[in-house]
Structure 1
Amino acid sequence: MACGLSDSVFLFMCPHQKLRGSREILAHCSPSPGICYLKGDRLLQKGIRHRQFLFPKRTKVLQAVAIPVVTSPTDSADYRKKLAESYGFKQIGEPLPEDVKLKDVIDTLPKKVFEIDDAKAWRSVLISVTSYALGLIMISKAPWYLLPLAWAWTGTAITGFFVIGHDCAHKSFSKNKLVEDIVGTLAFMPLIYPYEPWRFKHDQHHAKTNMLSEDTAWHPVWKEEFDSSPVLRKAIIYGYGPFRTWMSIAHWLIWHFDVNKFRPSEVKRVKISLACVFAFIAIGWPLVIYKTGIMGWIKFWLMPWLGYHFWMSTFTMVHHSAPHIPFKSSNEWNAAQAQLNGTVHCDYPRWIEILCHDISVHIPHHISPRIPSYNLRAAHKSLQENWGKYLNEANWSWRLMKTIMTLCHVYDKEQNYVSFEQLAPEESQPITFLKKVMPDHA
């Protein structure tokens, strides 16, 4: 209604003059209620010349309405602050200038953040192994009503295994590359994650972050697939709605076990990783079942594994999903904008960040994947000092999760996302349910 009113006032004030290029004027409404602004390729340019072109000098009142139109509210700190509060962010970054290159950002980072420290790397292994062992003891000793807490701890602890393998895949764990491949494979095995297939696809995610079709980690739903069949539409609504914090399980199954998804030069290493994973299943699972029974397998492996996937899904979607962050086609994509301005830093409770080796400090990791996890905080501090106004930062909260799970659905070039409720309101009861039960506060 506010946008419609703005349009009416704008056109009413100049009934006698034809607006050339008026098709370029858009009334753009944010997903946040009550935030609305006019947008146009010509109107966003500042200068007296444009005001004179649109409005005759003899119309005095027109000078008053020209002021908010010629300056985009997206450039306003107050606008970004309101948007941040609405979405659950601490800060929404200013748009990064188009002439900034990724190398410009990398060159501002201290050289020491790229240095590999074997002692710190192996300390992270010790933290993960110790915290996982403690988790297994907690599961074995806890009464039934405390088991969820034990599972939450253990699932978070084995997420640390993933982060260690993640560093190995990026060649930021050890100077010895054979050691990295061995440690990465062993770290991924309890997660039933084939190391090499994941590494190949994850490299593509870093090369094409927030690229609409090519990013292999996370992207919006496409309208074509949403409309393709009623069954798929219902599955997508549930998957990107209430089950979104476990969607990495679907990604794990689809992307990492099909040899045909990899280049011929990659297939040999893919098969070795698959053999390691299947060997763990063939030996490890029967041993667990033999010692503890099927219920023991559920208690000691399955539930922590689901806890790991909760973090895998949550970290990924929070890092790369926000209503104001676009996914772009390859011909419009800019590396610096995607990695610095299109990746989200999120602060979690400290115990989670310790067990997960600061994987949530994600912007510097996308600026350069060669930065070891134990140097990410120092790198982020440098980015804040040099590029702070362009960063998107948040605290993990119900408000943030609610925004992502109820708004960030189907890709739209103009709005970035359109929610399922807008496209299929009669089928979007899961989203309506989330809006009711998820709190708006932090």
Structure 2
Amino acid sequence: MSSSSVKVSSSSRETEGSSSSGSTTTTTKISENVATLNKLPTTAIDTFGNEFEAPNVSLMEILNAIPKHCYERRLIQSLHYVFRDIAAMAIIGWVGMTYIPLVESTFLRFVLWNVQAFWMGCFGFGLWILAHECGHSAFSDYNWVNDLVGWLLHSYLLTPYFSWKYSHARHHQSTGHLTKDTAFVPYTKEEFIRSRSATASKISEITEEAPLRTVAGLLFQQLFGLHAYFLTNASGQAYPAYSKLYTSHYNPVSPAFEKKEFWGIIASDIGMIITMTCVYYWAQTFGLWSAFINWFVPFIYVNHWLVFVTFLQHTDSSMPHYDAHAWNFVRGAAATIDRDFGFIDEHIFHRIIGTHVCHHYVSRIPQYNAREATVHIKKVLGKHYRYNGENMWVSLWKTARSCQFVEGDNGIRMFRNTNGIGVKPNDDKL
């Protein structure tokens, strides 16, 4: 995702409205004119019948509310988290490979191997988040350090670093925009109908989705969603003139990218090839089981955590998506939600779950300053700040059942479903 920045002259600091992509920095043009903001549609009815009111605050108000020191990036502190997470994975792997084979009970060994892989996957996702910080230039003041560390970490986890960086910045630039956002773009009502039945003319003609189908969809999403996105741009913007494989993050001439990003995508592909080669020699040298339990299973966990977290950050029955005429950057960034994942988020996932609203307003604020910045952002956003402290596994199920597509006739579209949950979809115009 490419970047956009906003210069806050009153505080003599430069901040970003989205992530930096090195040489592809553009300026987000956001109107600060209150009269213009007031002309935009402001209300809609969410999935459960509550009135949603779009924020009408200015970006400048939000940025100026954040203390200056929150923007400071400290390389040593950032590197400390990288080495800590690598050390944790190495120690867990060494302890597991040394002592678990000594356990006589087959069942207990199975349990312990899974415990090992789970915690390695948690710290692996922590490393993924740090690489993500690199892509946003939140890791340090040095672009070459950001890109080197980010490329190494993401490549190890089979994420194409530069490709992701470019598309992810565009997501930040256009969050919540139905035709420009690049991730977790929901179906419109019309698209949902077409996806379920080529002959359907009304939502009422589509059978309600069985819970078992929801379970199957969630399993596929959690295990394969990330790489479906990389390979076919799944859940991103559609490019009807091209095949899904042609729009892949691995294709340097994909229409999802600009020509100047060609070599970055090549570098991303090279990083992944190097990783797969290293894993092959790992298996040849130390055995297939060592590579499987210490790399592949944690890698699957990383995929799960990434989709789990990002899906719930951008999908909720209370959150809108906007047509072009109703969207602006402040509204889009507020169309995200902070959630609570307790100790794991605070100490292993680097606060990515609980500070995501802040991350969308100023993605160059490092994770260790994001909690404090969030406190000040909440004061400005007030009722427009979104937080849900519900158990996230419960939220995953509820969201999958209630958030199937969006509809709305004033440019603010809210989630609806065919499962009989909440407000019934309006199909009179079909």
Return the TM-score normalized by structure 2.
0.71
Q: Which residue of 1 aligns with 2:312?
A: 318
Structure 2 residue matching 1:327: 3-state secondary structure: strand
Q: Which residue of 1 aligns with 2:64?
A: 107
> Are the counterparts in 1 of residues 55 and 330 from structure 2 also a CA contact under 8 Å?
no
**Structure 2 residue corresponding to 1:95, chosen from 53, 61, 79:** 53
Q: Which residue of 2 aligns with 1:269?
A: 264
Greater CA drift, 310-319 or 381-390: 381-390
Deviations 1:122-147 (A, max 9, x none): 11112211222133235424421222
Whichever residue aligns with residue 313 of structure 1, its letter is: V
Structure 1 residue matching 2:419: 3-state secondary structure: helix
**Structure 2 residue corresponding to 1:250, chosen from 201, 207, 228:** 228
> Are the counterparts in 2 of residues 410 and 420 from structure 1 also a CA contact under 8 Å?
no
> Are the counterparts in 2 of residues 238 and 244 from structure 1 also a CA contact under 8 Å?
no
- How much has 1:230 moved relative to structure 2? 6.1
> Are the counterparts in 2 of residues 165 and 185 from structure 1 also a CA contact under 8 Å?
yes
Q: Which runs of 5+ in 1 are unaligned?
A: 1-27, 37-72, 75-93, 424-442
Q: Which residue of 2 aligns with 1:365?
A: 359
1:137/1:396 Cα in 2 relative to 1: closer, same or farther (>3 Å)?
Answer: farther
- How much has 1:155 moved relative to structure 2? 0.8
Deviations 1:86-122 (A, max 9, x none): xxxxxxxx73543x22222111111111111122111
Deviations 1:254-304 (A, max 9, x none): 24212222211110121112112112212x121221134333332222211
Q: 1:14-413 counterparts in 2 under 5 A?
A: 31-32=47-48, 36=49, 74=51, 95-98=53-56, 100-140=57-97, 141-142=99-100, 143-228=109-194, 240-246=217-223, 247-255=225-233, 256-261=249-254, 262-282=257-277, 284-340=278-334, 342-360=335-353, 361-395=355-389, 397=391, 398-413=393-408
- How much has 1:400 moved relative to structure 2? 1.7
> Are the counterparts in 2 of residues 212 and 329 from structure 1 also a CA contact under 8 Å?
yes
> Are the counterparts in 1 of residues 358 and 370 from structure 2 also a CA contact under 8 Å?
yes
Q: Which runs of 5+ in 2 are unaligned?
A: 1-43, 101-108, 199-205, 234-248, 422-430
Which one has the bigger helix percentage? 1
Structure of greater Rg: 1
**Which gives a bigger RCO, structure 1 or 2 (Cα 8 Å, sep 6+)?**
2
| Number of residue pairs the alignment of both structures matches | 335
Q: Which residue of 2 aligns with 1:419?
A: 417
Q: Which residue of 1 aligns with 2:239?
A: none
Aligned equivalents of 1:207, 1:371: Cα separation in 2: 16
The alignment's C-alpha RMSD in Å is 2.8
> Are the counterparts in 1 of residues 251 and 265 from structure 2 also a CA contact under 8 Å?
no
> Are the counterparts in 2 of residues 172 and 370 from structure 1 also a CA contact under 8 Å?
yes
Aligned equivalents of 2:332, 2:152: Cα separation in 1: 32
> Are the counterparts in 2 of residues 226 and 236 from structure 1 also a CA contact under 8 Å?
no
Structure 2 residue matching 1:314: 3-state secondary structure: helix
Structure 1 residue matching 2:387: 3-state secondary structure: strand
Aligned equivalents of 1:410, 1:289: Cα separation in 2: 44
Deviations 1:223-250 (A, max 9, x none): 4554446699999966754433332231
Aligned equivalents of 1:410, 1:176: Cα separation in 2: 41
Identity %: 22
Whichever residue aligns with residue 354 of structure 1, its letter is: H
Greater CA drift, 122-131 or 188-197: 122-131
